Amino acid sequence: MRKTCKIMVSGLVQGIGFRPYVAELAEELGLEGQVKNLGGIVEILVSGDKQAVDSFIQRLSCAPGSRLDALEVEKVDEISFGDVFHIVESEIGREVRRFLPVDLPTCDRCVAEMHDKKNRRYRYPFISCTACGPRFSIQKAVPYDRETITMDDFPMCDACREEYTQKGNIRRHAQTIACKDCGPRLKYIAQDSLQILDEQQAISEAVHALKNEKIGAIKDIGGYHFAFSPFSSRAAKALREFKHRDKKPFAVMFLNLDEVREYCEVSEKEAAILTSSARPILLLKKKKDFVSEICGESDRIGALLPCNPLQILLLEETGPLVMTSGNRGGEPIIISEEEMMPYIGSGIDFMLTHDREILTPLDDSIYQVAETGHVQMIRRARGLAPEPIVLNRKLKQDTFAAGGDLKAVFGLGRDELVYLSQYFGDLEDVRCAESREKGILHMEELLEIHPEETIGNLHPAYFSNQNTKKKIQHHHAHVASVIAEHGLTGKVLGIACDGTGYGTDGTIWGSEFLLCEDGNMSRVGHFSSVKLIGGDASAKQADLTLFSYMLEARERGYDVDGFFAECEANQTAIQKLRLQEMAWKQNINAVKSSSMGRLFDAAAALLDICSGNSYEGECAISLEQAGHRGKGELNIESLDKMLNAQCYKEDDVWKVDGVKLLVDLYGLKQQYSKEVLAYVFHHAVANAIVEVADKICKEQDINQVVLSGGTFINRILLKEVVEALAKKQIEVYINEKVPCGDGGIALGQMYLMTY
């Protein structure tokens, strides 16, 4: 008995070899028909023995790398296809849900071919197949085909064309198929316009330069990396000066897991993340160090594995390489040879580039595994964007979510799908803002989403808010992002801690306890608001923030004379501090803030651990690292007696006194090391969060707590809060699919638009 069906498949079914899989499955089962891309979905017509057709439909979900979200089967009249199954040319279609393929790392089969001297793609740095290679970064339009990606600049040679149509070939309908005769070409460029066009010679010259402490700009799938040897202090210092990056650690690329394990502790879960298709940077505990200029005082290494053939070929000869984003401080990642060329000889020694155009710039994604076992995403970029996140509620209309100005990520939403963009950096840089605007237009076209509704941040001065109709408070969006990820319903207590967010009362928030239900929010607790001087400068000058806290303490009558005596003794700073004190008293350039980030900054400065943020979060990171070292010196049972934060209720709002906490911490400085006190401070803050959360949960009859905001990247704080709340039988949820920092707030904004 024969059966003929039309099957419409939606989900992640383009750019991953789904059509070749369908064709070969049909051929195996003796079926005839055809398969084609139709917009962002796949249409299949299949005819043959009923049992074989049923088996075919059942096995469609087994396609490697695919994700089938919907499969609609419709019986149709019998059609004759001449006893063959065709992969036919794509058509443009408009479907409700569209899925774009993410960039994929080089697969094992391509690596093996690249190392095979008998293979015609031996040492070819652009080898790829249906299972690997660039996707989203080179996609111009939908459907994903040779004509709609930047590989259309490279007409296939006869040999590639034969493989492209050959049954069973790993490059059957691989849109990035290429070889040395017809594909992208590598080029080495150094000072005085020296160019080497021979591919293998270009690689050899780059290897020689890297081994001789040179800095190279190497074109990756999503943009350029700056690369140099992690054993070279000279190169590290030179690149730090060029990138205006004084202390922030550099990421290091290793050839394989064995090499990573030589320098880092790697758990089974961490190994799985390193080798995942995103090939992200993963923060790992350091076992062995490079020169001090690579990781500085950090106890961790940002490790990653190669994601493309060129990186593999280089690392096989050079050993580990620093691979950091190809940009200067605050700029978007560079994607074109023209943009990079002026830096040759004035910061960068050479460029190893190619002629395959990049349309969408993509930085490396970043992860860490918390001590709780949670996998935390710090940056969602290459290998992840623009894979959608599925909500448990539907949007009323197509929606644009602006995200924020820091760690900018926007979102486009339709029905229950939220497509988050790649990471753009901070929008105070005009080039980042321009890159974001291009990204918005490009994603709208690819997804055919032209938003009828727009939502942004409550902050009146945010660039990202331009042309958004609705506004959501920053920390409400943080909390909502976790609710969205986990599909939570009912009352939720959200705890959002970070550096800054404009509050509904016009002050700066940053340590919030928010009661959330059905899209609504009320502020039921926070750490005490303190008048901080210096405006935006307070986010960088931790010593200035500490000075503000201590002025507040003196105003309240606390004994902090010793602190101000120390300030008076500093002859170089005293005049500046007196001016700041006058500004504080007269409310000049001052703002009330409950920021947890600023509280951590003040503690780091108080303990003489770090006096300022040369990069975002430096003080908090240094304080956390000191705390890890200090924890081992303590009798844990005596902790709660050493330092406690005062929690109290005022006007129906729970508050934690951060000022008194710092005063008490200052009183312990003569008795304990700064490392011990760094841990004690973390413990006291965690205890205060848990105490207030527990009181609110009992008052409001809540059993769901979510944690979000950049502060919860802190491993000590997260572990202590999660474990203490769990002991109280409270369910705790954190961000796992998006960053807990500002890179995740577009998801929260979008979710709140479903109400």
Q: In this predicted model, what pLDDT tens digit does every residue of 67-124 receive, in sequence order?
A: 787 788 898 888 777 788 988 877 766 556 778 889 999 999 999 999 999 999 999 9
Q: Which of 244, 748, 199 is nearest to 494 (CA)?
A: 748
CA distance 382 to 311: 16
Q: DSSP characters for 557-578?
A: T---HHHHHHHHH-TTTHHHHH
Tell whether omega for the bond before 64 is within 30 degrees of 0, i.e. cis. no
CA distance 38 to 19: 12
Q: Residue 113, SS3?
A: helix
Q: How is residue 80 written in tokens?
A: 């004759």
* Global confidence as pTM: 0.92
Q: DSSP characters for 430-444?
A: HHHHHHHHHHHHHHH
CA distance 314 to 307: 12
Dihedral sign, CA of 527, 528, 529, 531? negative
Confidence of residue 193 (pLDDT cuts 50, 70, 90): confident
Beta bridge partners of 457: 472
pLDDT at 539 over 90: no
**C-alpha count within 13 angstroms, C-beta hemisphere, residue 587:** 3
Q: Could you say which DSSP state residue 371 is in?
A: T
For 267-284, the pLDDT digits (tens) are: 999 999 999 999 999 999
Given a contact cutoff of 8 angstroms between Cβ atoms, the answer to whether 252 and 290 are in contact is: yes
Q: How is residue 352 written in tokens?
A: 């190893």
pLDDT at 467 over 90: no
pLDDT of residue 327: 93
Phi, psi (deg, nearest 5) at residue 219: -75, 125
Quote the mean pLDDT of the chain.
Answer: 93
Q: Which residues contact 20 (CB under 8 A, 6 or more apart)?
A: 87, 130, 172, 173, 174
CA distance 114 to 112: 5
CA distance 619 to 499: 12
pLDDT of residue 78: 81
Higher pLDDT pick, 61 / 675: 675
pLDDT of residue 637: 64
**Rounded mean pLDDT, 181-185:** 96
Other Cβ atoms closer than 10 A to 298: 17
pLDDT of residue 551: 94
The distance of Cα 422 from the centroid of its chain, to the nearest Å, equals 8
CA distance 686 to 678: 13
pLDDT of residue 96: 61
